[in-house]
Structure 1
């Protein structure tokens, strides 16, 4: 199993071209980087990045996904070659998607994983809080998430599961700003989760990190032979990678943790954001590059997988979870277990 080697291009006005078996990045006709194609599984471009037609053809031939995002990380397009994977597995996936009971169980699993991991974020914050009052607030929010977990088995319909998830998210995001250093909260406050566009710096950073996790989850599902469009928790819509969104839920807290680290260590600062007319907030170019580097480094962190009982890089976990998901679709006796490290 190989780590998802993704090239993120954040340089404004960069031009990507094919140079024999190498991808070359130019800015104003000056070569900035060369990457051998055999090192890549995906190329993700933020904002105004140009690509040559020969390069796009070669990426498709090599099975290297090309993903285009806007400067905020919002999905715009994806170029892929011929569809590969196990057609029998996809057939099983489609059949499971039509099974109401199985769909409900899967939705509960994805939400349970997300709530357990977000609860760990708040519990850790409570232990490290500088004041007893803030520790008490964070502990209450963690207790609220525990109550959501207890309510989850009683959710007898998809809308009920989504309602539990929504309430848990509201409680979580009301406590998350307390994990920001007190002297930085003036600039990194948030009033709940906002997107399209993000309305504050914290949300802008989260949106950018979520976009990268989303791409890795989608690539992992495709590597496992699954169709990322056919999910269980998220409603099916044309052009929506519902299963990738499902899988991503348990990884959102990892993005949140990295966002807090970047803010609290001063690696991302208040003046790294553009405050736009209409209230939208966007991460600037140089800061985007720093966040991408930090994200790639975080993916190298060794994590003990609770089911496999072995250490592996965090960046491999989406691939492991995608394979566990494929196993659950094939075998009624092997339910899907979300990634919840101890």
Structure 2
């Protein structure tokens, strides 16, 4: 269970060895919610609120991810346990991989996995859109060609930095084709002119940006739980305070957010109460955030899918992938790998 606290005046503390969340109500009082720590995997505070040191201690004792996020859902900071275990050795291997062929191999696989997932999404969209079959087939074919080009580039190099600009160019071309296609299939009032970031230029991108913010937090937790360093990436630049590995590792999972957001718009679940104007762009209002949090949470945690010979939620599958990545860096036999699902 993941808890998002996005109401002003929320207070998180401990009562009777449980989390108690006090939320202001319309009558001027507060409504209390009690949660057993063992049932909670993460608590995300997205706006002005308060928490007690006892709540932090209880979260640490039960490995509950406690995240402070900005209004867009992007993590600002988190509390996590001070005992690193095998983390030091994993991070040394991660750093070594970042400057050699191993890091290049992972970079290529993550990028091609994302483009393949985008192509699969376009294929799925054909089921109820006969008028768009030709467009979807053509765009899917071009995406797969670009993925194949990335694989070819990776085979001809030994380090990511040798071909980083080429990889970004191929990825960027795939992205433009992909978003143009999704825009063309989005209901007309919400069609958009490509990706836009902070601020979003339109409601669709505002939903996408917020969804990615939620996913960033999930990916960062998965990496840290597996003992990996979110700041040591293989492709994205290691700029000051940039979580390069989060940006690398998230790539294959971005289409999850795309599917959920597209479904909300194509299903006409989005209306003008869900977003509002921001200086130079568009932002999500509280109802829009709640709509997306609920839909994305169900997609990540509620649905079960086949993953490495097991049936898991998508969120636990991503966590398993992070553990596999860490164990591969250590050169361990994955047949003996025990995955801890949180």
TM-score by length of 2: 0.86
Aligned counterpart, 2:109:
109
d(CA) in 2 for partners of 1:57, 1:311: 33
2:9 is the counterpart of 1:13: yes
Aligned to 2:231: 229
Q: In structure 2, which of residues 204, 208, 214 is the aligned counterpart of residue 206 of structure 1?
A: 208
Does 1:26 pair with 2:32? Answer: no
Q: d(CA) in 2 for partners of 1:265 and 1:85?
A: 46
Contact 1:126–1:136 (8 Å) recurs in 2: no
CA distance in 1, matches of 2:31, 2:20: 7
2:183 match: 177
| Cα deviation digits, residues 153-212 of structure 1 (max 9, x gap) | 2324122222211111111111112332xxx321x2221111111111111111111112
Partner of 1:151: 149
1:163 aligns with 2:169: yes
CA RMSD of aligned residues (A): 2.2
Q: Residue 137 of structure 1: CA displacement?
A: 2.1
Structure 1 length-normalised TM: 0.86
Contact 1:162 1:233 survives alignment (8 Å): no
Do the aligned partners of 1:108 and 1:152 also contact (CA within 8 Å) in 2?
yes
Gap change, CA 1:25 and 1:332, over 3 Å in 2: closer
Measured in 2, the distance between the counterparts of 1:117 and 1:42 equals 27
Q: Quote the residue 1:340 is aligned against.
A: none
1:337 is matched with: none
Give the structure 1 partner of residue 289 of structure 2. 288
User: Which deviates more, 320-329 or 22-31?
Assistant: 22-31
Q: Distance in 1 between matches of 2:211 and 2:71?
A: 12
Per the alignment, in what secondary structure is the counterpart of residue 71 of structure 1?
coil
**In the TM superposition, what is the alpha-carbon distance from 1:51 to its structure 2 partner?**
2.3
* Distance (Å, rounded) in 2 between the aligned partners of 1:199 and 1:283: 12
The structure whose RCO (Cα within 8 Å, separation 6+) is larger is 1
Whether the aligned pair in 2 keeps the contact of 1:42 and 1:66 (CA below 8 Å) is yes
- The verdict on how the C-alpha distance between 1:20 and 1:239 changes in structure 2, with shifts beyond 3 A counting, is farther
The 2-side partners of 1:282 and 1:298 are apart by 23
Shift of the 113–83 alpha-carbon distance from structure 1 to 2, 3 Å rule, reads farther
Is contact 1:123-1:139 (8 Å) kept?
yes
Q: Give me the whole-angstrom Cα distance separating, in 2, the residues matched to 1:83 and 1:166.
A: 40
Change in CA separation of 1:254 and 1:25 when aligned onto 2, cut-off 3 Å? same
Q: Which residue of 2 aligns with 1:71?
A: 71
CA 1:166/1:85 → structure 2, altered by over 3 Å: closer, same or farther? farther
The aligned residue for residue 247 of structure 1 is 249
Structure 1, unmatched stretches of 5+, are: 335-342
**Deviation per residue, 1:254-311 (Å, 9 max, x gap):** 11111112222233323311122322x1211123123212222212211112xx2332
Contact 2:43 2:65 in 1 (8 A): yes
Q: CA offset at residue 251 of structure 1?
A: 0.7
Any runs of at least 4 consecutive aligned residues in structure 1 with deviations exceeding 4 A, and if so which? none
Whether the 8 Å CA contact 2:226–2:326 is kept in 1: the answer is: yes
Please say if 1:270 is aligned against 2:272.
yes
Asked if the contact 2:37/2:58 (under 8 Å) is kept, the reply is no
Distance 2:114 2:72 in 1: 24
